[in-house]
Structures are given as C-alpha cells and as structure tokens.
Structure 1
Amino acid sequence: MSHTRALRNRFVDAEGSLGERLRTARWERFRRLFPGIEGMTVVDLGGTADMWLRAPLRARHVHLINLEPHPADLPDWITAENADVTDPEVAAKLGSYDLVFSNSTIEHVGGYSQRRRFVAAVEQLAPLHWIQTPYRYFPVEPHFVAPGFQFLPLAARARLVRHWPLTHSRPGSAEEGMAAVINIELLTRTEMRHLFPHSTLLSERVLGVTKSLTAVRAERAPEPAAASAD
C-alpha cells in the first residue's frame, strides 16, 4: 500500500479511522429511528452491497439502484440493478418499499432539476426515508479529503485532483480530472430543507462542526434539530 493510500485509510477507510467511527455512530442513530428495520424492505439509491454486508444491522430485503456495476454473487436478501432513478420511467417501475435509503448520492445526480427528480422518486417509492449528504460548509471536502476544495473554481479543482495525494483514484488526464469533480455539488442546509420540506433535517457533527446532513422521515420522531444558519 502506498504512503498516500495508507494516509487516506487512516482518516477515512481503515478500522478505527475517523470515517469508520462516524459510520458506526450513523448506523446506531439509524437503528434508533428505524427499530423495525429487520422486517422492512429497503430501496437504496446509489448504494452498494458491500456497505450493507458490513453494516451492523440487516433489513429484510434491500434493493440497490446504482449506475455502477454490482457484484454478480449477492446474498438472497439483496437484489440490484443498474438504473438512473432520476428517470421518472425507472422510478415508476420500481414498485413500493417500506424505506428509501441513500448515502452520499444526491450531491452526484447533476444539478437542481435532477435533484428534484431524485426527491420525487424518494417520495414515490416509500413512506419513510433516510437521505444523507455531506454538508457543503464542512471545512474538509469529504470525497477528496481536501480542506476547502469545494470552494475553489471548477478549473482549479479539476487540476488539483490530479495531484492531491489523498484522492481515492487519481485521474490520469485533464479530461478525467474534470469528470471527477464536475458533478459533485455539495448541498447546504437551506437547499436540503427546500428539497425535503416535510422531513426532519439531522446534523452529524465533528468537534461541534456539521459534517453531514440527513433528511429523515422515520418510525420514531428524531431528536429536535438545533437551529442553525446556512
């Protein structure tokens, strides 16, 4: 393992890393809000089988929707398909579930109109939801583990991502660099409230600073969210 990959793992991926501790705490919060998860059918928009296989809980059934390929060998409680849920025809064919789950996906769907279609699918697919996204004003951009990266001009981000040592997969060309950054649009609290006006908006904090936001419609009422400026 390279030195830079090891450094990224220390912060994001490895057992005991900050990222792993935050994921564990997130699952605990999720379980409190959805105590009946073991008996629920879940559609995961943008999720992976690996995430559910590593999770400290299990739904009755999980259906994954992702543009990326899925593993061929899945357990019988997980099914998957390659599709774009922002396409209304795709969403209409998916049927209904108990819960829509989505982790760090809405910021990737590509612009406000696509986010509105994503939200329409969420509302159509299930009565309950958990939609998490990184917070725009957290000091470190989470995809690239780069301080202030999201506030740079697009051209600067496309150049920097080709050299930044903590990037997960470093682009090899200018074109790949632009493709890596152009469709990541981190959301603010105001935008999430606008998109999910009837949901509770929860904040995940690190050292008192909001790191991510989650729009929730749950079995149990979430704890009241603290008032905060954008």
Structure 2
Amino acid sequence: MQRIDATDSKTIRYKFRKKRFEKVENLIREALKVSDPVTVIDIGGRRDYWDYLSEDLREHVIITTVNFEDELEDYSQKSSDLKIVQVVGDGCDLSQFSDNQFDISHSNSVIEHVGSFANMAKFSSESRRVAKRYYMQTPNLWFPLEPHFGVPFLHWLPAPTRIRLINKYAVGYSEKVEPIEEAIDEIDHLSLINANLVKTFFPDGEIHRERFALMTKSLITIGPE
C-alpha cells in the first residue's frame, strides 16, 4: 500500500494528527514529574512521526521504535535532534522487554494491521505489559471513510470482495495489488475495530473519541486510568 504523507501542514490528516499528539505530550509531561528522561516504546512507529514533539520535550524523551526488519529502511527517516533507537521486533511478542520497562507504550494506527483478533489481543497485552502507561490510537470501524485507501464504505464490504477489488483495480490511494497472494495478505492485515473491541483489548483504559462531522473518526485509549 502506498504510504500517505501526514507531514504536510496544509492537509486535514496533519491537523488531526497534530491535535491527537497533544494527548501524547500530556502523558509525557505527566511522566516527567517522576522520571527524566521519559522512556517511550513506539510499537510499529515511524521516526518522522515524532517530529510533532515540542522542542522543550526533546531532550527529555528517549524513544524506542519497534518494527519488523524489512520495515526498518522505510521507517528510518531523519529525526533531527530526537533521541530515537530502532529495534527489530514484533508487537505481538515483546519478550525482549521486561514488565514496565518503559514509562509509556505508544501505538498509532497499528493494531488494525496485526492480523487476527487473537493477534490483536496479544498486541494489546504486550503493549500494556511493557510500560506503566499506554496510548493507543486506531481508526474507527464505523466511520464511513476507509482511511488506508481513502474510499468510502470499502471496509464494510466482505473480505473476499475487498481482496478482489484491490487485486483487479487501483483503489483510492493504492495501486493495484498483485499477485492475488499479496492482495489476500493486505486484507488479512487490515481489520478496523470498534469501541467495544478497543475496550475489550484495553479494559483499564479510557476511550477518547476523535470526531469529524459529528462522527467518531478514530478511537484513542489511554491507560491505566
């Protein structure tokens, strides 16, 4: 799938992400009251995402990004004065890290890509285990625009229909996905979830609803509360 640029300050995507990032900074500022530097594990995170971090916080935060090995090159954009360490790992199995090793666990639009609901449960459990607090954001299943392709209602179609569509046509932001095996893998790792499932996976968190046109665009859960 083609990567969508969220760094252009003129786009609505940038404005939503910038506003959303205020919650991340609030968590960091709270953690700074008891720990300096604040350690953050960003599961499935990109280095350029942290360019949103305010200048006054940069020397007080150490960020560990965790990604699969074949993603490291794509996710290694320059990060100026940010303190970022890249680690190879799997968000569903963070056994290389100990319990509460980090102050904050962070993931932004990742849980919907890990595959089955069983994998989502593993991902959420590991996210909660390795840090004292967590921040997790994911697009809302019931928002009509599918955010990864930019096509209305696409995510509400049955999986076989979505596989056929992206294999046969260029859909939204994405070029045609070939061969069929790649299209199957794409859809297998793209399952949006609703607030009930977010609460199931993160039972000790508080859900915050990011709204657009009176509808919930994405779900953010912060915990434990």
Task: State the TM bucket, normalised to the shorter chain.
Answer: 0.7 to 0.9
Distance 1:119 1:15 in 2: 31
- Structure 1 runs not aligned, ≥5 long: 222-230
- Structure 2 runs not aligned, ≥5 long: none
Query: What is aligned with 1:131?
Result: 136
- What are the equivalent positions in structure 2 for 1:34-183 lying under 5 Å apart? 34-36=28-30, 39-52=37-50, 54-57=51-54, 58=58, 60-67=61-68, 68-70=71-73, 71=76, 77-87=83-93, 89-92=95-98, 96-162=101-167, 163-183=169-189
Given that 2:28 and 2:38 are in contact with CA atoms closer than 8 Å, whether structure 1 keeps it comes out as no
Q: How many angstroms does 1:83 deviate by?
A: 0.9
Runs of 4 or more above 6 Å deviation: none
**Alignment partner of 1:14 out of 8, 20, 25:** 8
Assess, with a 3 A threshold, how the Cα gap between structure 1 residues 179 and 135 changes in structure 2: closer, same or farther.
same
Distance 1:169 1:69 in 2: 22
Query: What is aligned with 1:26?
Result: 20
Q: Identity percentage over the alignment?
A: 26
Counterpart residue identity of residue 42, structure 1: V
Please tell me whether residue 196 in structure 1 is matched to residue 202 in structure 2.
yes
Distance 2:40 2:23 in 1: 17
Given that 1:134 and 1:211 are in contact with CA atoms closer than 8 Å, whether structure 2 keeps it comes out as yes
Q: Helix, strand or coil: the match of 1:158?
A: helix
Q: How many angstroms does 1:37 deviate by?
A: 6.2
Given that 1:84 and 1:90 are in contact with CA atoms closer than 8 Å, whether structure 2 keeps it comes out as no
TM-score (norm 1): 0.80
Deviations 1:145-189 (A, max 9, x none): 111111112122122224244224542332222222221111111
Distance 2:144 2:25 in 1: 28
**Count of aligned positions:** 209
Distance 1:182 1:150 in 2: 12
Counterpart residue identity of residue 151, structure 1: W
Q: How many angstroms does 1:206 deviate by?
A: 0.6
Q: Helix, strand or coil: the match of 1:43?
A: strand
Aligned-CA RMSD value: 2.6
Deviations 1:95-114 (A, max 9, x none): 70100010011111121221
Distance 1:91 1:170 in 2: 38
Distance 1:145 1:139 in 2: 10
Q: Which moved more, 1:135-144 or 1:58-67?
A: 58-67
Assess, with a 3 A threshold, how the Cα gap between structure 1 residues 167 and 76 changes in structure 2: closer, same or farther.
closer
**Alignment partner of 1:211 out of 209, 217, 225:** 217
TM-score (norm 2): 0.82
Q: Helix, strand or coil: the match of 1:214?
A: strand
